[in-house]
Every structure is written in C-alpha cells, then in structure tokens.
Structure 1
Amino acid sequence: MFSLTALNSILYNRKLAVFIILCICLIVYIPIYSLDFQDSWDDQWVVINEYTENGLSLPNLKHILFDFYHGQYSPVNQLFYSTMYALNGYDPLLFHFCCLLVHLCNTVLVYLFIDKLLKACGHDDSLCAKTSFLTTLMFSIHPIVVEPVSWISASKILIYSLFYLVALIAYIDYMSTKKLKYYLLAMVCFVLSFGAKEQAVVLPVAFFLTDYLVKGKQYALSGKVLLEKVPFLALALFFGLLTIYSQAYFGAGLLIDQKGYPLVQRLIFASYALTEYFTKIIFPLRIHHLYPFPNDPGHPVPIRFYVYPVALIIIVIYLIRNFTVNYIYFGICFFVLHLITCIHLIPMARVAIVADRYAYVSAIGILFPISYYLAKFKQRAIAVRIVVLYCLFLSVYSYTRTSDWRNSTVLKNSINS
C-alpha cells in the first residue's frame, strides 16, 4: 500500500513532483489533439487573419506592433499565431499543441511562484513543498482553465499569464536580493504580458499584495518600496489608456457615448461575476463557453440578481470579523484583483457576463489558501483522500470539457448536454 512517507518523499523531490503534475495534466488534455479551429466562435477572425498569414516579414511585424485589431491590442499573442503559421500553416494540431505547451509552462511557473512565496514568508520546506504541489496540481487540471487551453482564440490568456507569472517570481527574487536584474526582468515581462492581454495592467498592485504578505504593512507602505513601484505604475497607466483607446478606435468601451448598462446594473453584474467565479473555482459545475447577460441594455435586471451584492457584503463582513490569517486575505485580494478588469465595473466590449478564461490567474488566489490549509491539516490520511477524490473529479470533468471544444458544432451542442 502506498504510504504517506512515500508520498512525502515525492513531494520533497520538487523536480519529481512537478514532473508528476505535468504527466497528469497531459493525460487530462489528451482530447486536445483531436480539436479543430472554432470556425464560428472567433477563431475565424482572431486566429485566421492577414496578420497571421503574412508571417514574420518586417512590414507585417510593424503592423502587428502598431495596429489595433477589432478593438484589441495584443501584438505578442498575434506574433504567437504568426510564428505557428510560418511553421506549418493553419494546422490545428500545431496550434493546440503550442497552447497546451504554454499551459504546461504556466503550471511550472505556478509551482515556482507558490514555493518562492512561502519560502519568502519563512515557512519550512515541508509546508512549501506540499502547498506548492497541491495548488499547482489543482490549477493544472481545473475545468475553469480548460477554455483558454482548448480554445485557440483565448491563447492570449495563456501568453499573458506566462510573462505575468515570471514577473511575479522575479519580483519575489528582487525582494530578497535587491538585485537590479530581477527588477528589470519583472519590468520586461510586464510589457510582454500586457502585449498579450490587457489584464496584466494590475501587476503593480499584485506586487503590493506580495510585499504585504511577505514583509508586512509597514514594509509595503514604506516610501522606498512604493517608489520602486512608480515605473510600473507609469507603465500601467499607459497600458490602461492604450486599452481604452484601442476599444474606442473600434467604436466601443469607455470613451464612446453608447447605450450600455448603467453603473447600478454593472455593480450587480460585478457582484454576480465574483460570486460565480468563486463558486466555479471551488465547485466547478455547469461549465459552459457562454454565459449571456440576464438582460439587454435599457431593460431591468431580474430580481434574483439583487441577492448577489447583498450576499457579497455579508461574506466580506464575515471574513473581516472571523479571520485574521494573511493567507486568506492575500488569496481573496489576489482573486479579486485579477478579475477587476473583467467584471464590468469599467465599460468594456463584452458579450458575456462571465467567461471562464478570465479566472485563469485569479484561480490561484482561491486554490492557494485551500492548499495551504490542507497541507497543514493534522489528519493527513483524511486530507489525502479529499485531495485524491477532488482531483479525480477535476480530471474527469476537464477531460470531458476539453472534448466539448472539438469544433463549433460540438461546442454549441454541449450547452444543452
């Protein structure tokens, strides 16, 4: 019988632990090799376009870098498509394989991020190894991350996350060593991350959360540490304005006078979205590719949606009164921060009230504290059984959900299944 001692020896061998996670992830995503392009769900214009087909020529690279496309500015992601096309044309197998490869890289980065974060907080090697393993395993096979892995048009989430996680890891190294090379690496990765997806704009705030968790409030708010954030904040401001302008160029977003949802309704949507993302990360049920708005602009929100802001306020009050543990607060703040640009507080061109892909990075904020307390749970045999059963459920659901992305017809039919 497989003993807890043998399990611990695997977890302490970090290379072996990561290798096991990657193998499990590869098995879960076996259906990805039979997926096609989504010819009626954005691939037909996001992936298949003149920028992709014109390859890596200098004139095309100039257009990729300076053009807005359908209200989006993601030159790094477009370069990803152009490179794959240059290798073998519109080969869906190659495109999907590369997306999975990026997800595997992100999986390794999540492990490194959690491991370095806990070590910086002064935790022992055992707790660091266990928490990193659990967080990374659940992240890698979670059904809510299937969409960006299986849908080529959502690859910008994968690419942005890749550079974003490297930036976070580099910043933790900078905190402990104060070496300029880590600071500059974080800055370069910030630029590249935004070049894939505008969600990266919140990185300076993520640095602040890391400061607060690792070294406390006094350090995080000290003048020198705040001054170090100024270049990142300046870049974030520029990136934010660039995003708003790119949407306005397309005739949408914050600068365009158009009939949209009023602030009160958007606050209700935000409350609903946060609740929905939170519950789907913990209990991933009824995962779909499309979650329509409950009402059209100019029409009232269904009464049942008014429950969500009230429930959210109650939950916040409960957490403040009953928990003083930094890891819970860090996780929740990390979770909310990486959704803040996607929950309709800022008017953006969105076709759905929530989208699974936006929870790719924010899911770490929920899975991390859960893993932390599972790793500290004294009844280890019970904890192992819980983890095995939960991860088995995640694996089966993700395997099935990946198959639903075979093509646009199968995807649309999956809503009714």
Structure 2
Amino acid sequence: MKITKKQKNYIKKYFHILSISEISKKSKIPESEIEKYTKKANLIDKSIRAINKLTNSKSSLKKTYLKNKYFIFFIVVLTFLIYFNSLGNEFISDDRYLILGNPDVGTLKHLFSKPWYFISYVFTFISYNLFGLQPWAFRIWNILAHIGSSLAVFFIIYNLFNRKVAVLTSLLFAVHPIMVESVSWISGYTSSHYTFFFLVAFMLYIYSNKNDKFYYLSILFTLFSLSSSQKALTAPLIFFIYDFLYTNKKFNFLRLLPFAVITLFYGAFGYIGVTSRLDMLNTRYYQNKTYTNPIINLPITLTEYIKLIFYPKVLSIYHTELIQTKFGYYIKSFFTGAFFVSFIYFYFKNKKILFWLLFYIIALGPTLTPYSISWIVAERYVYLGSLSIYLLFVWAFYVLFKKYKVNTNYLYYIFVILVLVLSVRTILRNSDWSTRDKMWITTAKTSPSSPKAHNNLADVYARHGDLENAINEFKLAIKLKPDYGDAYYNLGLTYEQSGDTINAKKNYLESLKLNKNLWQGYYSLGFLSLKENDFSK
C-alpha cells in the first residue's frame, strides 16, 4: 500500500501526540506502513529534537540569542535610527500639562500619586531629576520600550513558529508607522511601557516549561505591565488562552493562579478609576457621561485598525472620520461577523491561528467598553494588538510560498521593500509630532470633523498673530461641537486681542455656562470688566 501525501501529512501532524496504533485506527493506514514511513522520514529523531527544544527552555532562550545575535543587533540599531528624528520633538498635546505645566512633576508627591500605576512615574521622576524638562529625556523611555518589545516579539515568534516568520514579524512591529503615537508622543508611554513588560512576561512564560526562574520572572513582569496601564488588564488572559490552545497540556490552575490574582487586584483599581476618567473626559473634552453598546462600534473599530495597518496613509491623533453609510457599516459588520465565525473553523483546523485571532481581540479589550472612557479608534490602542495582524500577514505569505513550492528566501526580498517603505513613513510621521504647530496643522487636515483639532489649529493661528483665521477656526470648532466651552473661551480671548470687547464678553459668558470649572473664563471676564471699570461684573 502506498501512502498518499494527505496521509503523510496526517502522520506528521499527529505523530508527536498519538501512538502509532491510534494513528492507524483513525487514518485506516496499516501500522506496518506507518512504521516504515516514520523511519524513512526520520520522524522519531525529529520528535526527540522537538521535545528537547520545548523542555530545555533555559538553553533554548540562550541558544536563540546566540544563533541570532547579529539580527538582534540589527533590529536594535534599525529601530533606534528610525525613531532618532523624534528625539528633538517638543512636548505635544497632553505632554504640556502632564509634564511641562505640572508643578509636581519630578517630585516624590508625583511619584507616589498613583502607587498602583507607579512604573511610568518612576521613569518620569528619573528623567526630570537627571535632565530637567528636556523632551528627549522623557521620550527615550518610549523608544527603549519599543526596541525591547520588538526583541520580545522576535523571541516569542521564533519559539512558536520559525526564524523566518520571527524575523519578518518583529521587523514589521519595529518599523510600522501606526506605532508612532505610542513611541514618539511622550504621553503615549502607557501603551509602549505596558506592552514591553507584557511581551517580556509572555516570552518568559513560553520559555518557562522546565525553568522556575523564568516562571517567577514572568509573574514579576506581568505585575510591572499592570503597574503601567489599565489597558494591561486583559493581557494576562493571553496566558490562559495560550495554555489551552497552544501547548496541548492539561489546564494547570495553580500555575495560572498568580496571574489571575494580581489581575483581579489591579482590576479593582481599574474599576475605581473609571469614574475619574469619565469626569476628566467630561471636563476636558466635553464628552458626555454616556454608556454605549460596544457591539455597535465593534465593526468600525476592528476593521478601521486593520485598514490603518495595511494602508497607513491617514494617521491622526483624532480619528473622527468614521461616519459610515448604512451600506458601508453593513459591509464592515459582515467582515466582523466572518472574523468571529472563523474562530470555530480554526478551533478545529489550526488552533495556533485561533490563538492569534483571539490575541487581537483580547489586546483591544480594555478599549471596547460600554463606558465612554476611550475613543472609538486611537492608534495607541492597537499597539499590542497589531502584533497579531503582522504575524498573520507574514504567516499567510509563508504558507503560500510553501504550498506552491516557492523558495521562502524570496520572502526576505519582498519584505525588504515593505520594511523600507514603512520605515520612511514612520520617519515622516515622527516629523508630524515635531512641534505643536505642525501637529495641529497636520491633524486638522486628516481629521477635518474634529472640533478639538480646529480649536488647536486656531490657537496656532492666534499665537502667530493671524487673528482672522484663528476666529474662523474657533467658530468652526463650535459649529462642530456647540457645547465646546474651551472653544468659546478661546474665541472670546481672540476677540479681546482684536479689540472687540463686546464679542469677547459674550463668548466668555457662554464658555462659563458650558463649563463652570473653567477658571480662565472667570479671570478673563473679570479682568476685562476691570479695564472697563465695570465693577458690576
């Protein structure tokens, strides 16, 4: 009896899991033929090598480094060079009040202001006390975290797939421009920091089969990840899914218990923080305290991130151009439905692929809440989740090349071009964050329906003395968001600068109606009344 190609693949797939008799029973292939084929294909030696690779985790991590030290050096240098032009960037957007305008920054009071999310405050404390208010000193931590995450990606994929897939996936992670918001923007530190600590924790967990040291270090780095951001709350779930889908091992509750305990502990603080987050968004961004059905936004969120990853032309700090036609929404809903249905297919066909599909959803989990505490789409939210898209993209190419017997080395030639294009786009995107003027000019172009973008663009015009354009932009911001108190105040201030005190007072009063906590409005209205000797105001 001649064994078919399909039968050979079946034997290879289950040889490490089932006995020869079990394979024979399920495949209807005689045991003698299976034994002949396993000897001929050298499956026994391959099985032993595979088992050794899994069980000797300490040496495999070291060997992985030694075998790939030149590539590791290359990815470190490449990533640093790509983000080098961001080191001279200014403090932008939230940086200006979180760091530049924060009188407590660099003090012990600031360091211990949120003891359960202390990691990033430690970096801020070090930067300020060593280098003062130098933007590069705060931004360098993000770049180092991104380099570290790229290396962790390489080690993880090397262990779970192979070298080619690991090289290409880690390169895409390192150079993709959608990552810029989490790296070049100082206030994007939460995403880059928690992702670094989580990926290192996951890497150590994978390599910890026979090494308790790696296991305990994995718990420690998970703690660091949770201490960096609330967005890390769902990440430890990946350990559970990994054990269930990837390792073919029995569910080990005690092994996973420490991860569950520290996640629940931080989850309690995360829930408490929801109220303060809602208050902040209401005061600073005039976002009403409402509850939304995340399922309605899910088709937009999932597909928009994939679009930005595959076509990163229009990148913005505010993704407001998400208004959909009914037909467009139905199309996105269809693809989202197909995405979830594929879970069932891959559960039976390829659990590894199912794991990485779930990885994407789990990483986005904290931003898919019924509370209005996050934007529908923000590039920093997909920083961790994008890893699964890069991997699945590379893996699809790899499988196609293998299927049609194309030399997989040609993958490198294709991806060299892709990496170069993405690197250039990342360098250009870094320059968008170079100054607050350039940032808001760029954002107003990419997000024309964002009231905050137009409010900030108006501020650019006002600071440069172009009061006419400033007034027009403030009016546009108000038209887009009629309850935008800050825009009314800024419009009043611009009218006052132009000598129009009547419209200045009118807009100051309107701003205070909309935001009673806007102390600048009281001050400006009182000072203007004092100048006019109108003490009744």
TM-score per shorter chain, which class? 0.7 to 0.9
What CA deviation, in whole Å up to 9, does each residue of 1:193-241 have, x standing for no partner? Answer: 111111221233211222234323xx25x3xx13322232222222122
Q: Out of 405-414 and 205-214, give the one that drifted further.
A: 205-214
Within a 5 Å distance, the mapping from 1:236-255 to structure 2 comes to: 236-252=263-279
Give the C-alpha shift of residue 77 in structure 1.
1.0
Distance verdict in 2 for CA 1:96–1:204, change over 3 Å: closer
2-side partners of 1:246 and 1:293: how far apart?
Answer: 29
1-side partners of 2:66 and 2:308: how far apart?
Answer: 30
Aligned to 1:130: 164
What letter corresponds to residue 193 of structure 1 in structure 2?
S
Structure 2 residue 139 is the aligned partner of structure 1 residue 96? yes
**Are the aligned partners of 1:164 and 1:203 in contact in 2 as well (CA < 8 Å)?**
yes
1-side partners of 2:277 and 2:365: how far apart?
Answer: 22
Structure 2 residue 330 is the aligned partner of structure 1 residue 277? no
Pick aligned residue for 1:403 from 431, 434, 445 = 431
What CA deviation, in whole Å up to 9, does each residue of 1:139-165 have, x standing for no partner? Answer: 000011111110000111111112111
2-side partners of 1:162 and 1:184: how far apart?
Answer: 17
2-side partners of 1:243 and 1:74: how far apart?
Answer: 10
Give the C-alpha shift of residue 302 in structure 1.
6.0
2-side partners of 1:236 and 1:243: how far apart?
Answer: 10
**Are the aligned partners of 2:278 and 2:373 in contact in 1 as well (CA < 8 Å)?**
no
2-side partners of 1:306 and 1:268: how far apart?
Answer: 11
2-side partners of 1:85 and 1:336: how far apart?
Answer: 36
1-side partners of 2:98 and 2:325: how far apart?
Answer: 33
Structure 2 residue 389 is the aligned partner of structure 1 residue 366? yes
**Are the aligned partners of 1:171 and 1:186 in contact in 2 as well (CA < 8 Å)?**
yes
Give the C-alpha shift of residue 180 in structure 1.
3.2
Distance verdict in 2 for CA 1:346–1:50, change over 3 Å: farther
Aligned to 1:188: 220
2-side partners of 1:287 and 1:294: how far apart?
Answer: 13
What letter corresponds to residue 194 of structure 1 in structure 2?
L
**Are the aligned partners of 1:35 and 1:407 in contact in 2 as well (CA < 8 Å)?**
yes
Aligned to 1:78: 121
Within a 5 Å distance, the mapping from 1:204-219 to structure 2 comes to: 204-216=236-248, 219=249
CA RMSD for the aligned pairs? 2.6
Structure 2 residue 378 is the aligned partner of structure 1 residue 355? yes
**Are the aligned partners of 2:289 and 2:372 in contact in 1 as well (CA < 8 Å)?**
no
2-side partners of 1:111 and 1:155: how far apart?
Answer: 22
Distance verdict in 2 for CA 1:34–1:333, change over 3 Å: same
**Are the aligned partners of 1:28 and 1:398 in contact in 2 as well (CA < 8 Å)?**
yes
Give the C-alpha shift of residue 357 in structure 1.
0.9
Give the C-alpha shift of residue 250 in structure 1.
5.0
**Are the aligned partners of 1:268 and 1:308 in contact in 2 as well (CA < 8 Å)?**
no
Aligned to 2:362: 337
**Are the aligned partners of 2:86 and 2:431 in contact in 1 as well (CA < 8 Å)?**
yes
Within a 5 Å distance, the mapping from 1:237-316 to structure 2 comes to: 237-252=264-279, 259-263=289-293, 266-292=294-320, 303=326, 304-316=328-340
Within a 5 Å distance, the mapping from 1:319-338 to structure 2 comes to: 320-321=344-345, 324-338=349-363
Aligned to 2:510: none
Aligned to 1:31: 85
Give the C-alpha shift of residue 12 in structure 1.
9.3
Distance verdict in 2 for CA 1:349–1:321, change over 3 Å: closer
What letter corresponds to residue 27 of structure 1 in structure 2?
L
What CA deviation, in whole Å up to 9, does each residue of 1:235-285 have, x standing for no partner? Answer: 2222122111022245549xxxx741432xx32212211111122223323
Give the C-alpha shift of residue 355 in structure 1.
0.8
What letter corresponds to residue 336 of structure 1 in structure 2?
I
Which of structures 1 and 2 has the bigger CA Rg?
2
**Are the aligned partners of 1:47 and 1:153 in contact in 2 as well (CA < 8 Å)?**
no
Give the C-alpha shift of residue 341 in structure 1.
1.0
Structure 2 residue 425 is the aligned partner of structure 1 residue 414? no
**Are the aligned partners of 1:51 and 1:82 in contact in 2 as well (CA < 8 Å)?**
no
Aligned to 1:298: none
2-side partners of 1:200 and 1:75: how far apart?
Answer: 14
Give the C-alpha shift of residue 46 in structure 1.
2.6
Distance verdict in 2 for CA 1:282–1:326, change over 3 Å: farther
Aligned to 2:487: none
2-side partners of 1:104 and 1:294: how far apart?
Answer: 32
What letter corresponds to residue 442 of structure 2 in structure 1?
S
Which runs of 5 or more residues in structure 2 are unaligned? 1-64, 281-287, 447-537
2-side partners of 1:311 and 1:64: how far apart?
Answer: 41
- Matched residues, number: 366
Give the C-alpha shift of residue 168 in structure 1.
0.4
Give the C-alpha shift of residue 135 in structure 1.
0.7
2-side partners of 1:413 and 1:251: how far apart?
Answer: 28
2:353 is paired with a residue whose SS is helix
What CA deviation, in whole Å up to 9, does each residue of 1:163-198 have, x standing for no partner? Answer: 111210121122x21x43323212221121111111
Pick aligned residue for 1:230 from 254, 257, 261 = 257
Within a 5 Å distance, the mapping from 1:141-220 to structure 2 comes to: 141-174=175-208, 176-177=209-210, 179-216=211-248, 219=249
2:367 is paired with a residue whose SS is coil
1:202 is paired with a residue whose SS is coil
2-side partners of 1:318 and 1:103: how far apart?
Answer: 31
Length-normalised TM-score, structure 2:
0.63
Pick aligned residue for 2:72 from 9, 14, 18 = 18
Aligned to 1:3: none
Detail structure 1 runs of 4+ shifted over 4 Å in the superposition.
250-253, 318-323
Give the C-alpha shift of residue 381 in structure 1.
5.6
1-side partners of 2:304 and 2:380: how far apart?
Answer: 13
Which runs of 5 or more residues in structure 1 are unaligned? 1-10, 66-72, 119-127, 296-300
1:291 is paired with a residue whose SS is coil
1-side partners of 2:372 and 2:218: how far apart?
Answer: 27
Length-normalised TM-score, structure 1:
0.80
1-side partners of 2:277 and 2:391: how far apart?
Answer: 38
2:312 is paired with a residue whose SS is coil
1:146 is paired with a residue whose SS is helix
